[in-house]
Amino acid sequence: MKINLKIRNSGQIRSLSLKAIPKRIEQKRKIKMNTTYILWATAPGDPDWAEQIITETTDKNHLVNAERWAQSCGFRNLRTLEHHTGDKPDFTRIINQI
């Protein structure tokens, strides 16, 4: 099945297949998807369960620098989460990493 769409302010009419619409939506989702990195660590002298968030960033280079800083300051049990915008969190995987 095809649908005729009128493109705003151009006067053009384009035909789109209904099968192509989900693919285009998925392509837009992939383009807009950002990756967020979160770094946790345990401060010196704190118990292992007392993790603190060191940084939350979208820049991989900033994450690497934060890891170096945390190690040089004596933080231990460093843990990184890589989250893609739009993904549902998998709590069982996160808990099993600990």
Residue recorded with tokens 């990756």: 35
Q: Are residues 49 and 80 in the same domain?
A: yes
| Contact present, 15 and 30 (Cβ < 8 Å) | no
Both structure tokens of 55: 């940084």
Residues 27 and 42 in one domain: no
Q: How many distinct structural domains can be found in the chain? A: 2
Check whether residue 56 and residue 88 sit in a common domain.
yes
Considering only residues 65 and 97, tell me which one the structure prediction assigns the higher pLDDT. 65
In this structure, are 43 and 76 located in the same domain? yes
Specify the higher pLDDT residue, 74 or 11: 74
Which candidate, 81, 82, 86, 83, places its Cα nearest to that of 98? Answer: 81
pLDDT above 90 coverage of the chain, percent? 42
Q: pTM for this one?
A: 0.56
pLDDT score at 30: 54
Contact (Cβ atoms closer than 8 angstroms) between residue 37 and residue 58: yes
Q: Are 49 and 74 contained in the same domain?
A: yes
Residue type, 98: I
